[in-house]
Amino acid sequence: MRVGRWTLLAATVTSASVWMSGCAQSDRSGAATPTGDVAAVSPALADYRDRIIEGELWDRPGLSARDRSVVTVAALIARNQTIDMPAQFGRALDNGVTPAELSEIITHLAFYAGWPNALAAVAAATPVFDERGVQAADLPSADDPPLPIDQAAEDRRRTGVDRDYGAVAPGVVGYTTDVLFTDLWLRPGLAPRDRSLVTVSALVAAGQVGQVTFHLGKAMDNGLTRDQASETLTQLAFYAGWPTVFSALPVFKDVVDNR
Give tens-digit pLDDT for 162-200: 999 999 999 999 999 999 999 999 999 999 999 999 999
Lowest mean pLDDT among 9-13, 50-54, 111-115: 9-13
How confident is the model over 205-213, as a mean pLDDT?
97
The pLDDT tens digits for 42-85 are 999 999 999 999 999 999 999 999 999 999 999 999 999 999 99
pLDDT confidence band for 203 (50 / 70 / 90): very high
Is residue 89 scored above 90 in pLDDT?
Answer: yes
* Spans of all domains in the chain: 7-30+46-146+183-257
> What pLDDT does residue 24 have?
39
Q: Does the pTM of the predicted model rise above 0.85? A: yes
Per-residue confidence (pLDDT) for residue 26, from 0 to 100? 36
b/e string for 82-121 if b means 16 or more Cβ within 10 A?
A: bebbbebbbbbbebebbbbbbbbbbbbbbbbbeeebbbbb
Q: What is the pLDDT at residue 66?
A: 98
User: Does the pLDDT value for residue 215 go beyond 80?
Assistant: yes
CATH topology of domain 7-30+46-146+183-257: AhpD-like (1.20.1290)
The whole-number pLDDT of residue 34 equals: 53
Check pLDDT > 70 for residue 17: no
pLDDT at 19 over 70: no
- Average pLDDT, rounded, for the chain: 90
Measured distance CA(17)–CA(38) in Å, rounded:
26
pLDDT at 183: 98
